[in-house]
Amino acid sequence: MIPIRDDNARHHFPVVTVTLIAANVIVFIYQSLLPSLQVSEFILEYGAVPYYITNGSHLGTIFSSMFLHGGFMHLGGNMLYLFIFGDNIESVLGSLRYLLFYLLCGVAAFASHYLFDLSSQIPMIGASGAISGVLGAYAVRFPHAKVSVLLPLIIIWQVITVPAVLVLGFWFVMQLFSGATGSAQSGGVAWLAHVGGFVAGVLFMLVWKRRHNLGF
């Protein structure tokens, strides 16, 4: 299932969400213009390498890695999810609080990946860990929102509308299954980072709803 839109009206222009998307795109364009050898060096320099973190260096890469991507599809998929689901969470939290939430979910995602392989020398890159937190928060805050998704049916693609909790719940189960049946970073994807980011987003929004008496 590929989400293409939701039915949640935004209450104000999502300045942080749009800025995050723009920043990711700009970094990717810069990265794409580098010679191939320099691309590898760039990712090693700014990607989050568990081995370096364990030895107390390159700590800033936990944040810089959130703006690097391995290819156009990697970038495009992440930005699609952020565009669809990020604006409503920004509306709920407010722009500055949402930015802090986004970055902290990214940290939680990295920690989930890091703790399973402290000595890995493979750089972790991508916004998906932080975005997973956004998805977790959305599933809690707007479980009954309708999401239009593209669904492959044999040789054609069909657009159907389903509750957000089903779309995001299915996404989470797939990440959990992939993480449980593979290595911490199988196929170049840090599945456990997705799981950790999503759980962080869920927990944050549960606390937020309770503190603001929004009900469940």
Q: Sheet holding 156-163: strands in order across?
A: 2-6, 146-153, 156-163
Residue 71 inside a domain? The answer is: yes
Residue-level length of the chain: 216
Contact between 200 and 113 under an 8 Å Cβ cutoff? The reply is no
Specify if 216 maps to a domain: no
- Where is 3: in which H helix or E strand? strand 2-6
The CA distance from 47 to 67, in Å, is 9
Q: What pLDDT is stored for residue 156 in this prediction?
A: 81
60 in helix, strand or coil? coil
Which residue from 2, 201, 1 is spatially nearest to 88, judged by alpha carbons?
201
Our count of domains for the chain comes to: 1
**Per-residue pLDDT reduced to its tens digit, 117-133:** 898 899 999 999 999 99
pLDDT digits (tens, 9 = 90+) for 123-169: 999 999 999 999 999 999 999 999 999 888 777 888 999 999 999 99
Task: Collect all residues with Cβ–Cβ distance below 8 Å to 155 and sequence separation of at least 6.
Answer: none
Quick check: 188 pLDDT over 80? no
* 148 contacts: CB under 8 Å, gap ≥ 6: 3, 4, 5, 6, 7, 159, 160, 161
CATH number of the domain enclosing 104: 1.20.1540.10
The pLDDT tens digits of the residues spanning 40-76 come to 999 999 999 999 999 999 999 999 999 999 999 999 9
Residue 69 lies in a domain: yes
| 3-state secondary structure at position 152 | strand
> Tokens 């260096």 sit at which residue?
57
* CA 58/CA 37 separation, integer angstroms: 21
- The reply to whether 36 falls in a domain is yes
Q: How far is CA 164 from CA 56, 128, 172, in A?
A: 40, 18, 12
Q: Which residues are catalytic?
A: 128, 194
On average, the pLDDT of the chain sits at 91
Residues 171/3, Cβ–Cβ less than 8 Å: no
For the entire predicted model, the pTM comes to: 0.92
Segment 102-117 mean pLDDT: 94
| Helices marked H in 34-127 | 36-46, 50-54, 61-64, 72-93, 95-114
What range defines the domain where residue 153 resides? 2-211
